[in-house]
Amino acid sequence: MSKQKPPPTSIAVPGMTWSFTLPDRLKIAIADAVTVFSHIDCMLIESVWALEQPDLKRKKQIAKEHAHENIKFIRSIVEDHMKLDVSAMWDALAELRQERNLIAHGTWSVRFGGDMPGETATPPEGIPMVLWHSKMLESDDFVTAESFDYWRFEKFMKRGRHLLNTFQQFKTMCEKAVEEQKRSGST
């Protein structure tokens, strides 16, 4: 029988405990983040519909596309046809998508206590920690978890709402342009 290796010191902090019972505040923050990003994805799909004016069969195809395909299509319209450089928006969307993937696909826990350097007091509900194996597997012996405090959720929501508003406006602009084109008899 082989002797089990001790855990890395990063998780063997005296007095530190873990809970997989999540506080309501954390559950709501996770749900809000996933929901706002789902609305962004929805706006992207509906923007492609507005631009293409597809039949039902094609609408279903567009809806089933990977999000990056719809983004690529819309980006080409914005950059190639509208001649707009909004690379900061695309970068923000890519960063938000990575955060959303961590939030939605990660395994959540809460850390209580411990004598971490610079730590003065532990919040009553603990510090949210997230583990996403495909991102955080660093060794044959262990994976790491990442602190994801509530300020990160607030930042995510602020950026998410801003991008959602931007894509809602883009969709509305596309719908108006298509209607105007139909009224004028242009193709």
SS3 string, 42-96, reads HHHHHHHHHHHCCCHHHHHHHHHCCHHHHHHHHHHHHHHHCCCCCHHHHHHHHHH
Whole-angstrom CA distances from 145 to 55, 61, 62, 163 are: 46, 37, 35, 28
Question: Which pLDDT score, from 0 to 100, does residue 187 have?
Answer: 54
Average pLDDT over residues 87-101: 93
User: Which amino acid does the sequence have at 133?
Assistant: H
Residue 185, pLDDT > 70, answer yes
* Helices 24-52 and 87-105: angle between axes, nearest 10 degrees: 130
Q: Which pairing describes strands 107-112 and 127-131: parallel, antiparallel, or unpaired? A: antiparallel
pTM of full prediction above 0.85: no
pLDDT digits (tens, 9 = 90+) for 114-156: 544 454 444 456 788 888 766 656 667 666 778 899 999 999 9
Report the percentage of the chain scoring pLDDT > 70: 76
* Percent of the chain scoring above 90 in pLDDT: 52
Q: So what's the pLDDT on residue 9?
A: 46
Stretch 52-80: mean pLDDT: 93
Measured CA distances, 187 to 52, 179, 184 (Å): 12, 11, 9
First to last CA, the chain: 76
Classify residue 137 by its DSSP letter: B
Instruction: Please tell me the predicted confidence (pLDDT) of residue 85.
Output: 81
Mean predicted lDDT score pLDDT of the chain:
83
Q: What is the pLDDT of residue 16?
A: 61
Quick: pLDDT tens for 27-55: 999 999 999 999 999 999 999 999 999 99
82 has a pLDDT exceeding 60: yes
pLDDT in the model for residue 146:
83
Tell me which range, 13-17, 32-36, 175-179, is most confidently predicted by mean pLDDT: 32-36
